[in-house]
Structure 1
Amino acid sequence: MKKFNFYQDTKVITWERDHFTVEAESYEEAVSIVRSWNCKDVTGIIDDRLTLGESESLPEYSEPMSLEDNDGYATREIFNDDNDSILNNSLHGKD
């Protein structure tokens, strides 16, 4: 009997962690600098006092996205070995 290859893609909600350092005269000043960025993505901030470090994904905090959180669009899809979509769980038909 023949074997056929497939793969599944699942959309997930996850957290990523970006390490960075801030050059300042004191911890309080460093905190003030960080707060001045208004919680923007530090990877896009241009500031001479900022040095980016390692980035990591936190798989222990990943969870599958629900169809409701994705407005009914597919959160799981099955593909064949040629990358053709075979099936998905969209509420809107084939995405």
Structure 2
Amino acid sequence: MKYKLYRDSLVKIWVRDFFNIEADSLEEAIEKLEDQDDFYDTEFIWETQEFLTPEENNGNVTEEIYDENDNLVYSNKND
């Protein structure tokens, strides 16, 4: 028998944002960047991905598995 399932996992991952900052010096550009959220591109750095445990998430669930009808069939809340 085959089952169609999907898993939702809470992860921690580094994200890289790319900016074009106009400034007279690198120091000024860094200062301006601290208040910026207008980036032109972003990427996930996948090799930094870490799956979190419920203990690392204040006892809350970090992994859920659902069946093809979107029914929750497993949660690691009480593992």
* Same fold? TM cut 0.5: yes
- Inter-partner Cα distance in structure 2 for 1:81 and 1:28: 52
Partner of 1:47: none
- Over the matched positions of the two proteins, sequence identity in percent amounts to 31
Where structure 2 has 5 or more consecutive residues not aligned to the other structure, the ranges are: none
1:65-84 equivalences under 5 Å are 65-84=52-71
TM-score, scaled relative to structure 2: 0.81
1:66, CA displacement in angstroms? 1.4
Partner of 2:9: 10
Q: Looking at CA atoms only, which structure, 1 or 2, has the larger radius of gyration?
A: 1
- Inter-partner Cα distance in structure 2 for 1:54 and 1:13: 20
1:4, CA displacement in angstroms? 2.3
Partner of 1:88: 75
Where structure 1 has 5 or more consecutive residues not aligned to the other structure, the ranges are: 44-50
Alignment length (residue pairs): 79
